Amino acid sequence: MTADTPLFLRLAAAGAPEVTRPDPARVLAGDPVHRTWNLEARDGLWAGVWESTPGIWRIAYDEWEYCRILSGVSILTEDGGPAHRLGPGDSFVIRPGFCGTWEVVETTRKDYVIRA
């Protein structure tokens, strides 16, 4: 870290979000649109804020992800497991190998840290 490296990164400093959609082959319902503000991306670590509009899509994780829901409502369901309704203040970890569905019921915003 150099003297001119900021100690704190703020969402406003991240600029315009990256806008994406899940792979159409994974979408089960709706037309979810994702907005991602990457605050840190290096050395196998990613951190930032992610937001999605309603929809349901299949997910499969190869990395660790810590998440905290900031707003909205989502349902995360592991294949063969129970559904977990997530709302503001809920924190959780998704482990490598997790496969299932992510359903955004109400536009959801989360902060995240991913470690490959």
In terms of residue numbers, what domain contains 49?
Answer: 16-115
User: Considering the domain boundaries, does residue 78 fall inside one?
Assistant: yes
What would the mean pLDDT of 93-110 be, rounded to a whole number?
Answer: 98
pTM: 0.88
pLDDT of 7 over the 60 cut: no
Query: What CATH number should be reported for the domain holding residue 63?
Result: 2.60.120.10
As a three-state string, the secondary structure of the chain is CCCCCCCCCCHHHHCCCEEECCCHHHEEEECCCEEEEEEEEECCEEEEEEEECCEEEEEECCCEEEEEEEEEEEEEEECCCCEEEECCCCEEEECCCCEEEEEEEEEEEEEEEEEC
Identify the band that residue 113 occupies on the pLDDT scale cut at 50, 70 and 90: very high
Identify the band that residue 40 occupies on the pLDDT scale cut at 50, 70 and 90: confident
pLDDT of 13 over the 90 cut: no
* Number of compact structural domains in the chain: 1
